[in-house]
Amino acid sequence: MLFAVASKDGKEINQHFGHVERFLIYQVEDDVVTFLEERPVEKYCRFDPDHPLRAHTLKDTADALQGCRAVVCSMIGEAPKMELDRLGVEPYVVEGEIEPVLRGLAKVL
């Protein structure tokens, strides 16, 4: 099972979905967590008054996260959360060390 993780340091889940410029992709299989790659994305929160709705960015992000079961981040706004749900990517808001959190999520998904 693949997870996309929002992390500033590669150790903790500690980044807001809207601030991510790259997701860390992990595979969890038989309680083993393996880092696979980084996938770059356009930052969702740009505070651009000319383009307040960023649905195109969410679509591009969802495309970049193809194959991932879930996105794990420290925070996410309602609009991107609903859009990710609609696109079939489950958002989870949690903080903590990446590996134990992913092991726990993999057991319940």
Neighbour tally for 93: CB within 10 Å: 15
Q: What domain range includes position 68?
A: 2-108
pTM above 0.85, yes or no: yes
Query: Based on the structure, what is the number of domains in the chain?
Result: 1
42-101 residue pLDDT tens: 887 765 555 555 566 777 888 888 899 999 999 998 888 888 888 788 999 999 999 999
pLDDT at 86: 80
Least-confidence region, from 7-21, 68-82, 95-109: 68-82
Q: CB neighbours of 98 closer than 8 A, spacing ≥ 6? A: 5, 7, 10, 11, 12, 13, 24, 26, 33
The CATH number for 104's domain is: 3.30.420.130
